[in-house]
Amino acid sequence: MTESQRSTETPKTPRKPRRLVELTAYWGNDDAESTIKISPRMWSEIQAGRTHLKDTYGWYEGRRFRVGWTFIRKTVTIEDASGDRCVDARPIEELVVRLLPESPKSDA
CA dihedral angle for residue 26, residue 42, residue 20, residue 29, rounded to 10 degrees: 0
Can you name the residues that pair with 55 across neighbouring β-strands? 68
Nearest to 51 by CA among 34, 68, 75: 75
69 neighbors 43 (Cβ within 8 angstroms): no
Report CA torsion sign: 58, 91, 23, 41.
Answer: positive
Mean pLDDT, the chain, integer: 90
Stronger pLDDT, 7 or 74, i.e. the higher one: 74
Q: How far is CA 34 from CA 5, 10, 22, 68, in A?
A: 48, 42, 10, 10
Over pLDDT 70: what percentage of the chain? 85
Residue 7: what pLDDT? Answer: 56
Over pLDDT 90: what percentage of the chain? 77
Residue 55: what pLDDT? Answer: 98
Q: Name the DSSP letter for residue 17.
A: P
pLDDT tens-digit readout, 77-101: 999 999 999 999 999 999 999 999 9
Q: Where are the domains of the chain?
A: 17-99
Can you name the residues that pair with 69 across neighbouring β-strands? 54, 78
